[in-house]
Amino acid sequence: MMKRIELTWEVGFFRSEDQPPEKRVKSVVPGAVQLDWARAEGWGPYTYADNWKDYLWMEDVYWSYAAKLVLPDRKQDERVYFVCKGVDYRFKVKLNGKVIHDQEGMFTPFEIDITEIATDGDLLEILIFPAPKSVAEPAARIQANQSCKPAVSYGWDWHPRLIPLGIWDETYLEVRPACHIEDCEVFYELNDDFTQADVRLEYKLSQKGNGQLVWKMLDKHGNPVGEVSAPASVDEGNVTMILDNPELWWPNEQGEQVLYTSQVELLDENNELKDTRKNRVGFRRARLVMHPGAWDEPAEYPKTRSNPPITMEINGRQIFCKGTNWVNPEIFPGIITRETYEPLVTLAKEAHMNIFRVWGGGIVNKESFFDLCDEQGIMVWQEFPLACNNYIGTPEYLKVLDQESKSIIKRVRRHACHVLWCGGNELFNGWSGMTDQSLALRLLNSNCFNMDPQKPFIMTSPLAGMAHGSYLFRYQNGEEVFQVMPKASYTAYTEFGCPGPSPADYLKCFIPEEQLFPPKKGTVWETHHAFDAWYPGSNTWLEIDTIEDYFGPCSTLEELTERGMLLQSEGYKCIYEEARRQKPRCSMALNWCYNEPWPTAANNSLINWPARPKPAYYAVKASCRPILASARIPKFKWQEGELFSPELWILNDSQYPVPAGQIEAFIKIGDEEIFLIRWNYPELSPNWNMPGPIIRFQLPKVDAGQMTLILRNPANPDMDSEYVLLYRERQ
């Protein structure tokens, strides 16, 4: 059986490849060279104030990890491997000064059989090159356009420039039997009515053996439902089994997340267990299909093409994708563990979400992320590490992309949660400048087709018919999301944002007290993205002008943040519910963004770093309930005497019908709650919305600053909704 031995690492930096470091400090592996150095130097947290600026020089030097080998005992028929699941980014591995491995790319694991070449006390080194940069200037994401290094680290509108380097995933020595399982993977095909799965195990042994390979499939209770064996004398091959009526894996709130276990055992000639692998298997079929009516468009000659399909179909059922854009949950991915992911994935599930778009500016997450999504039913749209750049298809770049994409595909494809490949973010827009002809994207399509043909692939988001944006509660021309969204008509809103400040108590954790109020440019507010973040000169993401224009001057930090958070909450409700109303033409609503990798002062995020929900999270949670009463509201700010005219709807994206019932609408202004209308709605079909009456109500004179539209279903309060709006008396 396998035996794992951890190594003890130290790390140091130097200015050129062949120069030895002046000193080395203790390293925590996996981690990042920056964190090791800061720890050794006793620096304050990089999340506080502008501490992160101290790290900037570290991207441009060489780093060297060193570990003295303490080789484990091994039997004669065992081997010792150096196993590494990821080094960030360009590196060489040396044993006693001799290069034994040379690689560019953080997503390709490697292992080296060191049995014959290493002895006790040898020095194992990993030499890390400076962060890849295609150009020396400007210090911005464009420097990432010839590498597979996630571009976000080079600086983004919500991410400081901090480019992690170093060993970022599990790295250890392992003693293995000479004949062990080098690789094994389960593939399957479901028949058209999902009553049968043709399951196949592909395996590769490190060498021919004398015993046999036994493959068992266990159901969700751990009961065996299939077993096949093959002689180990064939060191590469596949075995198959047929499962009748497999229990299917479903996304959150669409059914159970059933996971089988595939167990592979390698036995020797005495039937003694030499090696084993366990993997979970979820049976499901994911497709992108055309929405109802899509083929009828366009109607007229000259006739262009119909929009590409973006409606997600799981196991033959079209599913409205409610979800969000996932970004790195930490600046340094080396410190991410299952515990980092767990609360975030759980919060998504609790908010009725069923999909993460894992944005191409960030990393491809660690295994535990996919494990959690498998378990909690969050579908994963996985992008390759390309974002907002033109990744020109030079031979050097294509070679690394080919290697990295194959490693990513091989690792991710086996997860039940994984339903979509995507080339990267916004590559077909002017600021990126890539096209369908870009060799990098044709390579990715080719690799996905060849390695994972049953999974859909899109070159980027947005495609034709899809849209990104809007990203503000109110635009400079005065248009609010309340007006922008109802007149838009897209097949999927795969990014949209509504910014909001972080809560006051949270801000106090990383903004020095003297800078806290009022917020000013040139302070920590700015470096934590409250000013000039989206583009220079903009008020993003605090949008203080918009807040004060609606509410008047703010006199305390609490007043400012609460008002800003209200705008964010009501804006997000508007967008999510409007996207849902546009079903079935529209089939996705994914806000930008879910989480964040460090504390922002203001951001479009729903959850503050590391996993602290903002009020907008709860607003989105309400709007994502499978069944709810909803209102399309013409605008945010109302005045005495105006005709208040919300449009009532029942939204249903569950797989069940909604029985006929009643919605009562009230408006609360000041302390007064006024009954507006009672709507008797008939039964709704599964996954179908129902438009209802348009209320028309002349707003009375009340001494109040806000009003709340309240929708109640007396028989089913779970459907109740509230919308907070501004109210002003006539001057």
Minimum CB distance to a second copy smaller for 344 or for 443: 443
> What is the x/- site pattern for a second copy, positions 327-366, by CB under 8 A?
----------------------------------------
- Find the shortest distance in angstroms from Cβ 655 to a second copy: 23
Q: Which residues of 556-565 are buried (b: 16+ CB within 10 A; e: fewer)?
A: ebebbbbbbb
Q: Total residues contacting a second copy (rule CB under 8 A)?
A: 50
Alpha carbon separation from 717 to 72, 363, 633, 714 (Å, rounded): 63, 41, 21, 6
Query: Candidates 30-38, 105-113, 469-477, 561-569 — which segment interacts with a second copy by CB under 8 A?
Result: 469-477
Query: Candidates 277-285, 438-446, 512-520, 561-569 — which segment interacts with a second copy by CB under 8 A?
Result: 438-446
- Find the shortest distance in angstroms from Cβ 609 to a second copy: 27
* Footprint (CB under 8 A) of a second copy, residues 263-302: 287-288, 290, 295-296, 301-302
Residue 25 CA to residue 57 CA, distance in Å, equals 17
- Find the shortest distance in angstroms from Cβ 640 to a second copy: 32
- Find the shortest distance in angstroms from Cβ 427 to a second copy: 9
Q: Choose, by CB under 8 A, the member of 63, 81, 428, 506 that binds a second copy.
A: 428
Cβ neighbours for 104, distance < 8 A, ≥ 6 positions apart: 89, 90, 132, 147, 148, 400
User: Scanning the structure block, which residue is given the tokens 């751990």?
Assistant: 222
Dihedral, CA of residue 269, residue 275, residue 280 and residue 285, to nearest 10: -60
Using rule CB under 8 A, residue 446 touches a second copy: yes
- Find the shortest distance in angstroms from Cβ 463 to a second copy: 6
In angstroms, how far apart are the furthest CA atoms of the chain?
A: 93
Minimum CB distance to a second copy smaller for 195 or for 435: 435
Minimum CB distance to a second copy smaller for 336 or for 440: 440
Query: Candidates 14-22, 40-48, 464-472, 541-549 — which segment interacts with a second copy by CB under 8 A?
Result: 464-472
Dihedral, CA of residue 337, residue 342, residue 347 and residue 350, to nearest 10: 160
Give me the half-sphere count of Cα atoms (radius 13 Å) on the Cβ side of residue 217.
27
Q: Choose, by CB under 8 A, the member of 28, 100, 439, 724 that binds a second copy.
A: 439
Using rule CB under 8 A, residue 580 touches a second copy: no
- Find the shortest distance in angstroms from Cβ 155 to a second copy: 22
Q: Choose, by CB under 8 A, the member of 442, 585, 612, 728 that binds a second copy.
A: 442
Pairing of β 9-14 and β 602-603: unpaired
Using rule CB under 8 A, residue 458 touches a second copy: yes
Cβ neighbours for 631, distance < 8 A, ≥ 6 positions apart: 577, 646, 647, 648, 649, 665, 709, 711, 721, 723
- Find the shortest distance in angstroms from Cβ 433 to a second copy: 7
CB 194 within 8 A of CB 316: yes
Q: Choose, by CB under 8 A, the member of 252, 460, 540, 603 that binds a second copy.
A: 460
Using rule CB under 8 A, residue 610 touches a second copy: no
CB 571 within 8 A of CB 592: no
- Find the shortest distance in angstroms from Cβ 400 to a second copy: 16
CB 265 within 8 A of CB 332: no
- Find the shortest distance in angstroms from Cβ 198 to a second copy: 12
DSSP, collapsed to helix, strand or coil, labels residue 365 as: coil
Using rule CB under 8 A, residue 496 touches a second copy: yes
Tokens of 111: 């292992």
Using rule CB under 8 A, residue 453 touches a second copy: yes
The 10 Å Cβ neighbour count of residue 477 is: 6
- Find the shortest distance in angstroms from Cβ 291 to a second copy: 12
Residue 378 CA to residue 356 CA, distance in Å, equals 7
Minimum CB distance to a second copy smaller for 346 or for 446: 446
154 sits in the region (left: phi over 0; alpha: psi -120 to 50; else beta) called: alpha
Using rule CB under 8 A, residue 440 touches a second copy: no
* β-pair partners for 417: none
Using rule CB under 8 A, residue 467 touches a second copy: yes
Q: Choose, by CB under 8 A, the member of 31, 246, 377, 462 that binds a second copy.
A: 462
- Find the shortest distance in angstroms from Cβ 148 to a second copy: 18
Using rule CB under 8 A, residue 309 touches a second copy: yes
Minimum CB distance to a second copy smaller for 171 or for 604: 604
- Find the shortest distance in angstroms from Cβ 302 to a second copy: 3
**Burial grade of 157 (CB within 10 A; 0-12, 13-18, 19 or more):** middle
What is the DSSP-derived secondary structure letter of residue 121? T
- Find the shortest distance in angstroms from Cβ 465 to a second copy: 7
Alpha carbon separation from 178 to 78, 277, 575 (Å, rounded): 5, 16, 58
Minimum CB distance to a second copy smaller for 36 or for 426: 426
Q: Choose, by CB under 8 A, the member of 72, 308, 584, 657 that binds a second copy.
A: 308
User: Scanning the structure block, which residue is given the tokens 């597979």?
Assistant: 148
Cβ neighbours for 514, distance < 8 A, ≥ 6 positions apart: none
Tokens of 159: 């991410």
The residue type found at 224 is P
Tokens of 729: 């008396």
Residue 608 CA to residue 619 CA, distance in Å, equals 15
Using rule CB under 8 A, residue 470 touches a second copy: yes
Using rule CB under 8 A, residue 303 touches a second copy: yes
CB 596 within 8 A of CB 533: no
Minimum CB distance to a second copy smaller for 370 or for 490: 490
Minimum CB distance to a second copy smaller for 421 or for 681: 421
Minimum CB distance to a second copy smaller for 298 or for 552: 298
What is the DSSP-derived secondary structure letter of residue 157? T
Using rule CB under 8 A, residue 379 touches a second copy: no
Residue 33 CA to residue 35 CA, distance in Å, equals 6
Minimum CB distance to a second copy smaller for 163 or for 574: 574
Using rule CB under 8 A, residue 730 touches a second copy: no
Using rule CB under 8 A, residue 449 touches a second copy: yes
Residue 390 CA to residue 438 CA, distance in Å, equals 9
User: Which residues bind to a second copy, rule: CB under 8 A?
Assistant: 287-288, 290, 295-296, 301-309, 428-430, 433, 435-437, 439, 442-443, 445-446, 449-450, 453, 456-458, 460, 462-471, 475, 484-485, 488, 490, 493, 496
